[in-house]
Amino acid sequence: MEPLADSTLVVFFPTVLPTNTGFLIQGPYRTTPSRDNVPPKNPWNRRLVHETGDLLVEAMRWLATEKILDVRGLRCLPLEREKFMGGLLWPLFERVTRALKNGALLPCSDGSYASAADVRLSRTQDLRDLFQPDQLGAILEAEKPIKWLSADITADRTPALRQYLIHELGLSEQTPDSLLPSLTASFLEAQPDDWIVRLYEFLNKVPALAERLEHVPLVRLQNGKHVAAFFLGQPQAFLPTDAETEFPTVRRDVCARPQAKKFLQSLSLTEPDPVDDVIRNLLPKYQSREIRAENYAADIARILHAFKTDSTTQEDKLISSLKLSRFVMAKEMGDDTTSFQWPDHIYLATARLKELFQGIARIHLVDDSQNCLRGEDIRELLEACGTSRYIYPVPLDSKLSDDERFELRRAKGVINATSERPVEAAALGGTH
């Protein structure tokens, strides 16, 4: 039904008293002798208008029960306070307002009806699709689910009804700007992955809003916890990669779809740098007094992956940190015991050096019984960190006098030696 444009009160014949409703009201009101007007102070008329209000509410309840009380029906109701205040028909406005506040008479977007306390307006269909009644109730900290009013109620199509709902019934109109800043970690962590994906896709459509949500814990980590993208300028999460890292990582399932990942990237989240991962998360355990490497092969794989960086600066940073870490498992050549050593304190396990140093104490070679310490890639890394495939020359500070050095050389058959350069010897201690 559409509201009537002209709806004066009818007392068997039309009167001149406008009802300001979208329907006709007929009743045995007392009229003036000419039957064209209705005295507002007449006791009978004052009583009858209350009866008319009760009848109107009863009709509204019947329409709701039959599922035919829609937005068009609401537009027919007495909605504009200033047109009723102080007049004979004021009880109609008052009675309808009370009924809508307390009774399930407002049409919702899911086809049901609810009272004013249990509904909210929304400007966008996306918001109605994203938040179901139980979710909306949880965000608004209500004791029960909160439903969305019918999508047919808009500022453009039903301005008077919308103003009535907001100003007379006290309904709030939820927008992304008003609702999304209220998202909490506990609420988000209770939602399934597919809902988080839909949230990201929704936010990707409103980039200006996303910029204002920097303190909201929107990012779902692999363990299901939620954090803000940054805290004090530092990233609290990284996008997932094929390589394993110990950085907090966004759960793969929530960034698999392109628009969801695009939103996360708009937060300035990036994939973790393997070099920083190794330096911050892996090497500290190889710099402690007692090293426990339960997943040694995996650790070496992470180091090798980081060493493949295209950045010279990052590579230099990695090598400097590796030199300070006892991350190389090495074998002592005197008793075959193994221990973790600094890379520039040991030799590569070449066949020549194994043979040369066999049985000599305090000489350490890379423990090539470890599969992860074999191959050209690891040799290249170790040599970059100072591990040698050649004997270290170690200068000795000789206290011999010139005459003593001359006699020593002559005894060895170096008769014509006149050089005064220092005597050198091979580094048999494994350090330099």
| Structure tokens given for 390 | 């050649």
Tell me how far apart the alpha carbons of residues 414 and 417 are, in angstroms, rounded to a whole number.
6
Whole-number pLDDT of residue 396: 66
Structure confidence at residue 51 (pLDDT): 97
CB 285 within 8 A of CB 293: yes
| Predicted pLDDT of residue 53 | 96
Of the pLDDT bands very low, low, confident and very high (cuts 50, 70, 90), residue 427 is very low
What's residue 17's pLDDT? 95
- Confidence tier at 299 by pLDDT (50, 70, 90): very high
Q: What is the pLDDT of residue 416?
A: 57
Q: Are strands 424-426 and 393-395 parallel, antiparallel or unpaired?
A: antiparallel
One-letter amino acid of 162:
R
pLDDT tens per residue across span 24-76? 999 999 999 998 999 999 999 999 999 999 999 999 999 999 999 999 999 99
pTM: 0.72
**Distance in Å from the first CA to the final CA of the chain:** 96
In the predicted structure, residue 418 carries a pLDDT above the cut 80: no
pLDDT, position 228:
96
What values do phi and psi take at 170, rounded to 5?
A: 75, 25
Distance between CA atoms of residues 70 and 165, nearest Å: 14
pLDDT for 152 beyond 70: yes
Say yes or no to pLDDT of 421 above 60: no
- Helix-then-strand count for the chain, H and E: 17, 16
Residues 6+ apart with CB under 8 A from 80: 20, 160, 164
Report residue 316's pLDDT band, with 50, 70 and 90 as the boundaries. Answer: very high
CA angle 239, 243, 248 (to 5 degrees): 40
Question: Which tops the pLDDT comparison, 244 or 321?
Answer: 321
**Average pLDDT taken over every residue of the chain:** 91
| DSSP strand pairing (173-174 vs 119-122) | parallel
> Which 3 state secondary structure label does DSSP give 142?
coil
Q: How far apart are CA 237 and CA 251, in angstroms?
A: 10
Higher pLDDT among residues 112 and 426, named by residue: 112
Query: Alpha-carbon distance 81 to 102, whole Å?
Result: 19
Q: What is the pLDDT of residue 425?
A: 43
Alpha helix segments (H runs only) across 190-247:
193-204, 207-210
Q: How far apart are CA 288 and CA 144, in angstroms?
A: 54
Instruction: Name the pLDDT band for 360 (thresholds 50, 70, 90).
Output: very high
pLDDT digits (tens, 9 = 90+) for 222-276: 999 999 999 988 899 999 988 778 899 999 999 999 999 999 999 999 998 999 9
pLDDT above 70 covers a percentage of the chain that reads 94
